[in-house]
Amino acid sequence: MKSAIKSGKMKYIAVLSLITAAFVLISVFYLFGVSIVLEEDNRIYFDEIAFETANTVESRLNNLLNSIRNYSYRFTEFEGLTEAEQNTLLHETANASGFHDFVYINADGNALSARYGEAVLSNRDYFRNPFLLGTDYVSVGIVGHFTTEVMNMFSVPVLSKGEISGVLSGALESVYVKELINTDTFDGKSSSYIMNSEGLILLIPNNDILNIDAGFSLLEMAELTSGSEDAVFELLGANNAFGNFSFTFENENYFASFKSIGISEWMVITVIRTGDIAAVTFNVFGMVVIFTFISMLITSVAIIILGIRHWVFNKKFRETSDERDNFKNTDLLTGGPSFDKFITNVVDIFDKTEPDTGTYAMISMDINKFRTVNDHLGHDEGSRILIKLSELIQRNLTENETYTRKNADSFYILIKYVSDIDIFGRLDTLINDTYYQVEEFKLILSFGIYKIDDLTMDVRSIIDRADLARRTIKDNNESSYAFFDDNMLTKIREEKRIESIMEFALESNEFKVYLQPKYDLNNHTYIIGAEALVRWFRDGKMIPPGGFIPIFERNGFIVKIDRFVFEEVCKQQKIWLNRGYEMRTISVNMSRMNLQEPRFVRDLYEICTKYNVPTKYFEIEITESVAFENLETLTRVFNELKNYGFHISIDDFGTGYSSLNMLKNLPVDVLKIDRSFLADAKDERANNIISHVISLALSLHMKTICEGIETEEQVNLLSGLNCDMAQGFYFARPMPIDDYEKLLYSDNKVTS
């Protein structure tokens, strides 16, 4: 790094020397030229000075653009950063650069500014030009979207993997830009302006001898010497164009020289009163010296300042990257290695293990029902237990072993072993340590073990196998373990196969919606509505939801399936609505993953709007265990659903660990009591619980429905307990929509 900075400095010095040498050469050239100049050559001489002036202006603007381009390399991954990281990067850049502000504009024209936050800048020329043409761009002085000060936007395209992914724009106050084009040539008797390809003056220097405003059309407002108009117009906007002309403006005669500067199709036009050229000629020597001196001074100061800033920024950047690395490598709660760091550690350990010298096992460990720990002891105590556990694991690690905590209570440990006995020994130690050291709560641990036979295997696949083994352990009352075996691999393959066909299956209508009617327990023949349940038909066979829903829940595809089911139900409701049938609410299951989607409720609402079906004909079923995961999110989503007019039910109530007490502040309409409560209708204790749940739900103004009713006995029991509704094979199985329609509307019940 040091040598990079040094070589950076060397570059500055080299550039400084080159510029100085160039100025000295130019000075000598002028000195020599001027000594032989005659009166009539003055214009040519002015042309040359104007030419150099244009070059100076161009290089100053280019310097600024270059510095932005240097920053732009840090923005290639900008859109992948978190919001906080994006803001930090913009602020650091703005602070280090000396620009007023920095704005990153993405491909859609959405901008984030260090100072003023978000804006849409898709139609701004300083976005469109760099983005569409890939060129650097400087805008005219604008009163920014963000500020009342007049600014010029210096924009460069941001490249990511060779493609333009966005635009980085630095805003610089126009007063400074005006100074940049102030060149002070000819004793201040000439002025240089920036003119666009249509002949409009865009930037005016501080020493404006014409006394004009931006937007002034020099070529139209001034009287051009006859014969020169065509030539001038032809040259405007051309690449590498330069030329001169005389004109009269407000009764004064002027001479102008212009040259294009490859930025934004701009030209620098330098203007002087005709009479001033000759007068100045005699003072040329002094002028050249002063010009050279000032330019050198400005350049040197600029280079030194830029150099210092560059160094300071690099230093800060290095410090923050160190912090970031630290942040990325450490689990903030336990201080142990982060999951990413763990993966790198494992790869490193495998890399330096000679073949056949070590056998490793990956252990996936999880605390059973850790949520109950948080629930009983509070979040802080829960965290303390995780830290303790992390310490216990770390304490027993030997050389070339590592561990991590991923998510709440799931740990991975890489251990060395010779025989299975070593593994049992290690697990026993951990279980015992935990038992004695975490006294507040009896932690039940589950371990999935994968004995690694191929050290070149992808670490994530190794972890998947350990996880898979752990997931085969069902609810247990003691800590237990399971080894990975090849049957599980068949399961993984099946999972992968399902993943590879699921998108196609959805597009080719392999998923169908079935409806299972719900009955009123006060009038056993009355159907109150139905629950929509998805079915997958492939090669003439039906795959039950249990075979794909858990997989889709893991890979996120469930969100698409749920939208699909919702839309199918919506289409069907629309048909019945159009026919004037009496409408019944249909409930649709929504998996927990939907809750993380910011647009979840809004999307459902938009589907209803698309088909013009009122939201009150839908009930959204969310399973109970979600409440336990994140009551805060659930409250937000439920309130949103309620505001749009959807009904809400809590599915599988009784299988999670929440209580009605937790749910009492949620706008829940229906409580769906899980069928496991009905396992044994003769069990008095179970009946007592159902009875209490029903009366509590009633007191909270929720309706109750029992799922999985299979016998008349169960029906009678529930009727006696004042349960409102029932759903189950006793009444009807889930059925295709057509069958449901026949069942419900065979007598064409029309809305009264």
Site residues, ligand C2E (CB under 6 A): 516, 533-534, 544-546, 549, 558, 561-562, 565, 589-591, 621, 651-652, 707-710, 727-729, 734
Residues 271/209, Cβ–Cβ less than 8 Å: yes
Binding track, positions 99-138, relative to Mg ion; x by CB under 5 A: ----------------------------------------
Pick the closer one to ligand C2E by CB: 295 or 591. 591
Q: How large is the C-alpha radius of gyration of the chain?
A: 38
Distance in angstroms (rounded) separating the CA atoms of residues 220 and 408? 72
- Report the nearest approach of ligand C2E to the CB of residue 728 (Å): 3
Question: Which one of Mg ion, ligand C2E, none interacts with residue 562, CB within 5 to 8 A by kind?
Answer: ligand C2E
Select from 512, 484, 632, 493 the least CA-distant residue to 572. Answer: 512
CB of 572 to Mg ion, least distance (A): 18
- The binder of 710, among ligand C2E, Mg ion, none, by C-beta within 5 to 8 A per type, is ligand C2E
**Which residue's CB is nearer to ligand C2E, number 127 or number 740?**
740
Compute the distance between CA of residue 106 and CA of residue 119 in angstroms, rounded to an integer: 11
In the complex with ligand C2E, the residue whose CB is nearer, 461 or 676, is 676
Count of Cβ atoms closer than 10 Å to residue 202 Cβ: 20
Among positions 590-629, residues that touch Mg ion (CB under 5 A) are 621
In this chain, which stretch among 34-42, 161-169, 646-654, 739-747 interacts with Mg ion, using CB under 5 A?
A: 646-654
Q: Which does 363 bind (CB under 5 to 8 A by kind): ligand C2E, Mg ion, none?
A: none
**Pairing between strand 267-273 and 359-367?**
unpaired
Comparing C-alpha atoms, which of 106, 120, 55, 58 is closest to residue 78? 106
List own/partner pairs for 72-77 with CB under 8 A and 24 or more apart: 72/156, 72/157, 72/158, 72/159, 72/168, 74/317, 75/104, 75/158, 75/166, 75/168, 76/158, 76/159, 76/160, 76/161, 76/165, 77/160
Q: Segment contacting Mg ion (CB under 5 A): 325-333, 452-460, 652-660, 714-722?
A: 652-660
Q: Which is nearer to ligand C2E, 401 or 562 (CB)?
A: 562
Site map (CB under 5 A) of Mg ion, residues 684-723, x = contact: -----------------------x----------------
**Residue 158 or 650: which CB sits closer to ligand C2E?**
650
**Of 99-107, 374-382, 587-595, 719-727: span binding Mg ion (CB under 5 A):** 587-595
Query: CB-wise, 168 or 622, nearer to ligand C2E?
Result: 622
Task: Name the DSSP letter for residue 409.
Answer: T
DSSP secondary structure, 121-181, as one string: -TT-HHHHIIIII---EEPPPEE-SS-SSEEEEEEEEEEETTEEEEEEEEEEEHHHHHHHT
Q: Which is nearer to ligand C2E, 245 or 618 (CB)?
A: 618
Q: Which residue number, 140 or 648, has a Cβ lying nearer to ligand C2E?
A: 648
List, in order, residues 6 or more apart from 81 with CB less than 8 Å away. Answer: 89
CA distance 123 to 51: 34
Count the residues of the shown chain that bind Mg ion, applying the rule CB under 5 A. Answer: 5
Pick from ligand C2E, Mg ion, none: which does 558 bind, CB < 5 to 8 A by kind?
ligand C2E
Task: Using the minimum distance from each CB to ligand C2E, give the nearer residue, 180 or 515.
Answer: 515
Tell me, letter by letter, the H, E, C secondary structure of 464-516. HHHHHHHHCCCCCCCCEEEECCHHHHHHHHHHHHHHHHHHHHHHCCCEEEEEE
Distance in Å, CB of 632 to ligand C2E, minimum: 21
Q: Is 464 in the site for Mg ion (CB under 5 A)?
A: no
How many alpha carbons fall within 13 Å on the CB side of residue 296?
A: 17
- Contact segment (CB under 5 A) with Mg ion among 214-222, 304-312, 574-582, 649-657 equals 649-657
In the complex, the smallest distance separating the C-beta of residue 700 from ligand C2E, rounded to whole angstroms, is 21
Choose the contact partner of 565 out of ligand C2E, Mg ion, none; CB within 5 to 8 A by kind: ligand C2E
- Hey, what are 38's tokens? 């005659």
The CA distance from 195 to 216, in Å, is 9
Among 276, 495, 652, 724, binds Mg ion (CB under 5 A): 652
Residue of the chain from 338, 585, 589, 714 that contacts Mg ion (CB under 5 A): 589
Nearer to ligand C2E, 185 or 727 (CB): 727
Based on CB atoms, which residue is closest to ligand C2E, 344 or 625? Answer: 625
**Nearest distance from residue 674's CB to ligand C2E, in Å?**
7
CA distance 127 to 106: 9
534 binds, among ligand C2E, Mg ion, none (CB under 5 to 8 A by kind): ligand C2E
The sign of the torsion formed by the CA atoms of 654, 658, 660, 666 equals negative
- Interior angle at CA 604, CA 599 and CA 606, nearest 5: 90
Burial of 80 (0-12, 13-18, 19+ CB in 10 A): exposed
- Burial of residue 321 (CB within 10 Å: 0-12, 13-18, 19+) is exposed
> Which neighbouring-strand residues pair with 201?
195
Considering the complex, state which of residue 92 and residue 621 has its C-beta at the smaller distance from Mg ion: 621
549 binds, among Mg ion, ligand C2E, none (CB under 5 to 8 A by kind): ligand C2E
In this structure, the number of other CB atoms found within 10 A of the CB of residue 240 comes to: 9
Q: Most distant CA pair in the chain: distance in Å?
A: 122
Shortest spacing between CB 603 and Mg ion, in angstroms? 20
CB of 372 to ligand C2E, least distance (A): 22
Task: Find the binding residues for Mg ion in span 524-543 (CB under 5 A).
Answer: none
Q: Which of 651, 678, 726, 737 binds Mg ion (CB under 5 A)?
A: 651
Q: How far is the CB of 545 from Mg ion (least distance, A)?
A: 10
Q: What type of residue is 693?
A: V
Nearest distance in Å: CB 520, ligand C2E = 16
State which residue, 296 or 735, has the beta carbon closest to ligand C2E: 735
Single-letter amino acid code for the residue at 79 = E
Nearest of 736, 750, 738, 739 to residue 583 by alpha carbon: 750
Site track 545-584 with Mg ion (rule: CB under 5 A), x = hit: ----------------------------------------
Q: Which does 392 bind (CB under 5 to 8 A by kind): ligand C2E, Mg ion, none?
A: none
Q: Is the dihedral of CA 232, 133, 71, 113 positive or negative?
A: positive
Distance from C-alpha of 413 to C-alpha of 395, rounded to nearest angstrom: 12
- Whichever of 42 and 589 has its CB closer to ligand C2E, that residue is 589
Q: How far is CA 34 from CA 23, 48, 74, 278, 285, in A?
A: 16, 11, 48, 12, 8
Kindly state the smallest distance separating residue 656's Cβ from Mg ion, in Å: 11
Closest to ligand C2E by CB, 64 or 534: 534
* Minimum distance from residue 525 beta carbon to Mg ion (Å): 23
Q: With respect to Mg ion, which residue has the nearer C-beta, 185 or 589?
A: 589
Between CA 621 and CA 637 the distance in angstroms is: 12
Minimum CB–partner distance for residue 561 and ligand C2E (Å)? 6
- How is 568-622 classified by DSSP, letter by letter? HHHHHHHHHHHTTBPP-EEEEE--GGGGG-TTHHHHHHHHHHHHT--GGGEEEEE
Contact partner at residue 708 from ligand C2E, Mg ion, none, CB < 5 to 8 Å by partner kind: ligand C2E
Q: Is 722 helix (H, G, I), strand (E, B) or coil?
A: coil
Q: How far is the CB of 609 from Mg ion (least distance, A)?
A: 25
Question: Smallest distance from the beta carbon of 581 to ligand C2E, in angstroms?
Answer: 23
Q: Which of 741, 749, 650, 625 is nearest to 704 (CA)?
A: 650
CB of 706 to ligand C2E, least distance (A): 10
Residues engaged in binding Mg ion (CB under 5 A): 589, 621, 651-652, 707
